[in-house]
Amino acid sequence: MIFCKLDYKYQPFFCEENIWWLGKSLQVKGLSLEKQYALFFSNDKQQIPLFFQDQGEGLVVWDYHVVLYYKDEISMIFDFNTLLPFPCNAQHYCAYTFPKKLPKEHQIYTRQIPMKDYHQKFYSDRSHMLDKNQKPLQPFPNWPAITGKKPHYTLDEYVDFKQQKISKVLPLDKFFTNLQITI
């Protein structure tokens, strides 16, 4: 199957919504929803350094980032912001995207959400993209905001890695071990 980023809904700076919609589209294309996961990357400082991202040269520091992980015989990562292939072999993506050594304050953590749960529970009020005067910091997507079934979880809850009610949060190295990824 061939995938092209341009075939899917995408709005810069709204990775959480882009991945929600991508999961729906991949399901329509026949990729099992049970094999899809939303991966949230962040940390307490909300400063995660990633390589090969389209918003800068070399290293980009995001407050959080969301990708789609498709777990199969050959696992893939779908990341709209990567300069690597779309999708990218998970092993290759992890080896090239994440810095090898980081100071403790920039250690990356991840939350893995089954896509079925993400589709049901994610609620986007887009408040994280408003300034103090309630003006958008970046253009909003041209689709309606996503409203999940109650109880739902907002983006702030998904990236609050201190709480574990949504799912377990793992340091990146332990997450790689669970996925049997070596970098």
Catalytic residues: 15, 65, 79
* Contact (CB, 8 A) for 141 and 17: yes
And the tokens for 22?
Answer: 């991508």
Which residue type is seen at 145? A
* Contact (CB, 8 A) for 176 and 183: yes
Tell which residue, 29, 20, 179, has the closest CA to residue 89: 179
Residues 132, 168: Cα–Cα separation, whole Å: 32
The label of the residue with tokens 């290759």 reads 92
Rounded alpha-carbon distances, angstroms, from residue 175 to 58, 69, 76, 123, 164: 24, 12, 15, 25, 15
Tell me, what DSSP letter sits at residue 81? T
Residues 52, 24: Cα–Cα separation, whole Å: 26
